[in-house]
Amino acid sequence: MIFTKAQDVISYLYSLPKFHAKGDLTFIRRVLAELDNPQDKVKMLHVTGTNGKGSTSYYLSNLLQKAGQRTGLFVSPYIFAFGERIQLDGQNLSDDDLVATSNLIEEVLQKIRQTDPDFGLVTFEYEAVMAFTYFAQKKCDYAVIEVGIGGTHDSTNVIKPEVSVITTVGLDHEQVIGPTIQDIAREKSGIIKDQRPVVIGNVPSEVVPIIENKAKEEQAPLFELRQDFTVNNTWRINYQDPERKLTFAIRPKVEGYDIAVAVRAFSTLNLPLSNLQIEAAINQTIIPGRYQILQEQPLIILDGAHNMQAMKNLLDFVHQQQTRRQGKVRVLITMMKDKDLVEVFSLFKESDQVELTTIAYPRAAKKADFPTSVQARYPYHSDWQSCFTQLKQDSQPNDILLVTGSFYLVGEVLQLEATNARSRY
C-alpha cells in the first residue's frame, strides 16, 4: 500500500483493530527492529497516569524547548487535527511528513508479510511507531511520550526513558488493566526502568507501596509528591523542592499537581534553565481541551474529562467558580458508551442544568446508551450544535457553560467557534 494523502492514512489507521489477541509488545518490537530501532536514538521521557498525563506531557515539552532542546511530543487524543498527536518543537506533524512516515512503515510491514502474511499492527502501535520514527529522523534531543493505556503492556513501553512519570492512579479502563486500583498501579509502574529516575504525583496512599517496591526492584531513584517536592494552591501555585522555589499563575488545583510533577521530572535532566525561565515556560503552556477557557462572560470552559477522577476534579473547580460568580452552571456532555456513565453523572449538583448529546463518532453514546436513571434525569439532544448554541444564548454573564465528557465533543465545539469567528470577519 502506498499513501498519497494524509486523510487516507488517518482513515486507514482507524480501520485497524484496537487490540491484539495477546497483549504483548512482540508486534511493535518486530517493526521497530526492522526500522533500526528509532526509539533508541532519542532521549525519551515517559509519562503515564489515569489523569494528568497529557497536561504533564505538554508542560514537559515546553520546559525542554525553553532549555533549547529539539523536542518531540507524542500525546492523545487530538482536538483539531491528527498532527497534534505527533509534534516537533510545538508544531504539528505536517500532512507530507505523515504520508512519508506511514509509507516507510508500510514498506517494513510488506517485508514482514512476505514470511508472515497475517502480520499487522493495531492503531496505537502504528501511531507509536510513526512517532518514534519521525522523532529519530528529525534528530530530536528529547521526546516526551504519553502512554496510551496503562504502562507495562502499552505500546510505548519499548523505550528506556531518561525519567518515568506517574501522575495519578485511579479507576479507568478497568476492563483492560484492572479491575482493582492495585492492578492499575502495578500496570502503570511497568514504565519504571532500571536505574532511571521516576517521579510520582497525586497518587492514592494505598497504592504508593506498589510503586515504591517497583522502583526499589529497578534501583530507580524515586521522587514523590509531598515527600521530595511540594505544591500548594493558595492564590497562586507555589512549588518547592530542595533546590527551587517557584510560583506559577493561578490554575485549577489539579493542574498544580501536573505542573509540580513536570518541574520535578525536568529537574532530573540537569538542563540549564533558571527559575524565571521555568516559570515562563509553564505559564505560557496552553493545553488544548483541558480547562480551556473559551470566553469569560459567560464563562465557557471546555474540558475532555471522561472518567470519575477527572470529572470530580473538573466539577470541583467549576462549582468553586460558581460560588465566586453567583451564577448558574449549564453543562453539555456526551461520553463514550464504554465509560462509567452512572458514576460520572452522580457527581453533578441538583442545581446544574445538564444536557445530554452525542457526536458522529462510533463509540459516542446515543440516547439508548445512557443508563435509564440518567435518561430520566436529563434531556437528550441528538444535535449537539443547536444545543450548544441555545445554552450559550441562555447563559447570563455570571453563568458558567461547561462542555465536557469527551475530547471529541470539545474538538467539535472549538471547530464551530473557529468557523463562526471566521464568518464574522
pLDDT in the model for residue 178: 52
The reply to whether 392 and 339 lie within a common domain is yes
Regarding whether 146 and 20 lie in a shared domain, the answer is yes
Give the Cα separation of 336 and 60 in Å (integer): 29
What would the grid cell of residue 124 be?
Answer: 496505537
Question: Can you name the residues that pair with 354 across neighbouring β-strands?
Answer: 331
Whole-number pLDDT of residue 175: 55
Residue 91 lies in a domain: yes
Is pLDDT above 90 for 357?
yes
Asked whether residue 74 falls in the same domain as residue 32, the answer is yes
Of 340-344, 373-377, 381-385, 408-412, the one with minimum mean pLDDT is 340-344
Tell me the C-alpha distance between 17 and 163, whole Å.
31
Domain's final residue, options 256, 283, 310:
283
* Residue 1 placed within a domain: no
Which range marks the domain in which residue 385 is found?
A: 292-423
Give the number of domains in the chain. 2
What span, in angstroms and rounded, lies between the C-alpha atoms of 151 and 158? Answer: 10
Within this chain, do residues 95 and 47 fall inside the same structural domain, yes or no? yes
- Regarding whether 341 and 278 lie in a shared domain, the answer is no
CATH number at residue 215: 3.40.1190.10
Note whether 109 and 164 are same-domain residues: yes
Q: CA-CA distance, 284 to 127, in Å (whole number)? A: 28
Identify the pLDDT of residue 190. Answer: 95
Where residue 24 falls among pLDDT bands split at 50, 70, 90? confident
For the chain, give the percent of residues with pLDDT over 70: 97
Report the C-alpha gap between 167 and 45 in whole angstroms.
13
DSSP single-letter state for residue 359? -
Are residue 359 and residue 249 in the same domain, yes or no? Answer: no
The answer to whether residues 274 and 315 belong to one domain is no
Q: Are residues 69 and 120 in the same domain?
A: yes
Based on the fold, state whether residues 96 and 224 are members of the same structural domain.
Answer: yes
pLDDT band at 173 (very low <50, low <70, confident <90, very high): low
Write out the H or E segment, with its range, that includes residue 357.
Answer: strand 353-357
Asked if residue 423 has pLDDT above 70, the reply is yes
pLDDT, tens digit, 9 for 90 and up, residues 231-288: 987 667 899 999 999 999 877 888 899 999 999 999 999 999 999 999 999 999 988 8
Residues 47 and 111 placed together within one structural domain of the fold:
yes
The reply to whether 262 and 385 lie within a common domain is no
Domain boundary (264, 283, 302) is at 283
Q: Would you list the DSSP string of 201-214?
A: -S--TTTHHHHHHH
Last residue of a domain, one of 265, 283, 301: 283
Q: Is residue 227 part of a domain?
A: yes
